Structure 1
Amino acid sequence: MWRELIGRLYSDAEFAAPAPDEEIDQIEQRLGQRVPDELRELLRETSGVQDEYGSGLVWSVQEIIEQNTEFRQSADFAELYASFDQLMFIGDNGGGDQFAFVQAPGERLGDVVVWDHETDERTWVARSLKDYLESRAASDGDDWYKQGSGQ
């Protein structure tokens, strides 16, 4: 389902090999957060998807673990930014901004936000992984999530 959807939305998408459940479970073990069902299903079909320019539409299991661990453990980031503990980064725009599932009490597990690396703003962009992929595909440019926001 996910490969078909992404293939229709992004004709130039590059798919990685599927990830076994044991590998996906490592995200939960290393980050202490539940992997949203949609993300688990996508990773079972492809452990990561890149666009034609190499931006991570959805990162691989290993990159999800590495990026989130780095953001949470970096002393420099701790001085510059609010905590990343309630986010699960899953992709990027190729220019520094990152997309994440919100994992905060009272928030829907499937909501996707963008983290702006220059301002530390966390802005809601989609109600699900599917919505995120469709919205990103329907807009032009790396800053598609800023369109209509006055930025």
Structure 2
Amino acid sequence: PLLSTTTVTIDDNRERECYKPCVDGDLRLVGGNTEYEGRVEVCVSQEWSTVCRDGWDITDATVVCNQLRLSNNTGYLVRYAYDYGIGRGPIFLNDVDCSGDEERLIDCEHNEISVRDCDHFQDAGVYCSPTSIYLTTHTSYGFLCFKLRFALAFFGY
């Protein structure tokens, strides 16, 4: 889960679900059909915000996928907000420029949004490809025994 929850009981004996605030620099992908894709959101001052796609490129997308441990420097594809719905709330990062060595997107060079030069129609998104999917099958009928291994890398749809 992207947010951990806990149930608490308050004075009138009603239970409420409380959300643990995000930690600055955390990332999540929102609006995708799988855990490997979505609009990029970053936690800043314990609030989720989107990332402007100005200057957004494959290196930036790779840092996102690696930070989320959804990829290992392979199989990433930059996608844009219209694929995953339009974000809400603040837009924090603009003109992101990662070298590829960063462990977290927040550590990449960037500008903070100070004037309205970006809107949610310009939110950044990613598709992270799993590095590989392995299928192993063993079948034994006397002399027949085989092992099949597939390694698949996705580079788009």
> TM-score band, normalised by the shorter chain?
under 0.3
The answer to which structure, 1 or 2, has the higher relative contact order (CA under 8 A, 6+ apart) is 2
- TM-score scaled by length of structure 2: 0.26
- TM-score scaled by length of structure 1: 0.27
More helix by share: 1
More strand by share: 2
